[in-house]
């Protein structure tokens, strides 16, 4: 596949994944290759490949006679996924940590600014997008490609659970918690301690799992 074709396929895949995670395509939604090809202005081949990749990652399910459906998050799977994500978050500080550059620190300032704006005017969808962007930032803190790939795959399997549970959460408090994580991460990285930053991430994943646990 030519480089530009790979890039187009990756953009399709990421756009579709985002729609699933932001509940633009809620659990049970049926996706049509023909309609998607028309919307994105492409043939059905790259659409089919992007859908297959999302199915492999557990975000879609193909049923004979029904079509391709968006899956829901299994609560038991969510608990197992969060447990593994905590372990992987710590590994980011151990396995090939990336150099802390001024650009990385500037990105953290940008996340804090966005969090402050959301604290003043909470918006669930914007906050969900902020969380996804911050997760992607976290992947840049390690140069270990296998760790990045595994972490990304696990994160997006359960990313939409937050928006599904928003009615049971205090959005302003969630924004404050997020801003605290950004500040703690910034302090650790400015001190040149990627392991401390990784432990901050692990702690906040653990707290998120607790807040989202059924019955809490």
Cα dihedral 115, 208, 210, 14, rounded to 10, equals 140
Buried b (16+ CB within 10 A) or exposed e, 64-76: eeeebbbbebeee
Q: Where does a domain end: 50, 70, 90?
A: 70
Asked whether residue 156 falls in the same domain as residue 98, the answer is yes
Low-confidence spans in the chain with pLDDT less than 50: 1, 216
Neighbours of 167 (CB within 10 A): 8
Asked whether residue 92 falls in the same domain as residue 197, the answer is yes
Contact 66, 30 (CB under 8 A): yes
Q: Where does a domain end: 70, 85, 101?
A: 70
Q: What is the pLDDT of residue 216?
A: 46
Q: What is the pLDDT of residues 95-144, one digit of tens each?
A: 999 999 999 999 999 999 999 999 888 899 999 999 999 999 999 999 99
Considering only CA atoms, which of 70, 90, 190 is closest in space to residue 138?
90
Asked whether residue 66 falls in the same domain as residue 79, the answer is no
Residue range(s) defining the domain that contains residue 122: 75-212
Asked whether residue 117 falls in the same domain as residue 164, the answer is yes
Domain count for the chain: 2
Asked whether residue 121 falls in the same domain as residue 61, the answer is no
Q: What is the CATH number of the domain that holds 38?
A: 1.10.10.10
Asked whether residue 20 falls in the same domain as residue 95, the answer is no
58: its two tokens: 């557990």
Angstrom distances, CA of residue 159 to CA of 34, 78, 151? 27, 10, 12
Buried b (16+ CB within 10 A) or exposed e, 34-53: eebbeebeeeeebbeebbeb
Asked whether residue 29 falls in the same domain as residue 118, the answer is no
Asked whether residue 81 falls in the same domain as residue 56, the answer is no
Asked whether residue 94 falls in the same domain as residue 168, the answer is yes
Can you give the pTM of this predicted structure? 0.91
Asked whether residue 106 falls in the same domain as residue 196, the answer is yes
Q: What is the pLDDT of residue 214?
A: 65
Asked whether residue 84 falls in the same domain as residue 164, the answer is yes
């Amino acid at each position: 596949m030519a480089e530009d074709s790979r890039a187009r396929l990756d953009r399709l895949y990421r756009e579709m994944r985002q729609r699933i995670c932001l509940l633009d395509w809620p659990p049970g939604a049926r996706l049509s290759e023909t309609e998607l090809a028309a919307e994105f202005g492409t043939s059905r081949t790259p659409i089919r490949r992007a859908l297959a990749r999302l199915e492999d990652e557990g975000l879609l399910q193909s049923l004979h006679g029904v079509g391709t459906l968006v899956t829901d998050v299994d609560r038991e799977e969510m608990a197992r996924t969060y447990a593994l994500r905590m372990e992987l978050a710590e590994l980011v500080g151990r396995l090939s940590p990336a150099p802390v550059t001024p650009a990385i620190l500037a990105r953290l300032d940008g996340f804090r600014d966005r969090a402050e704006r959301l604290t003043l005017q909470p918006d669930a969808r914007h906050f969900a997008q902020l969380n996804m962007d911050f997760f992607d930032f976290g992947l840049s803190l390690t140069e270990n490609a296998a760790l990045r790939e595994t972490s990304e795959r696990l994160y997006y399997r359960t990313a939409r659970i937050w928006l599904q549970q928003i009615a049971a959460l205090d959005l302003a408090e969630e924004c404050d918690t997020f801003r605290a994580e950004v500040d703690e991460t910034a302090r650790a990285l400015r001190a040149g301690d990627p392991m401390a930053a990784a432990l901050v991430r692990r702690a906040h994943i653990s707290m998120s799992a607790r807040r989202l646990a059924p019955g809490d």
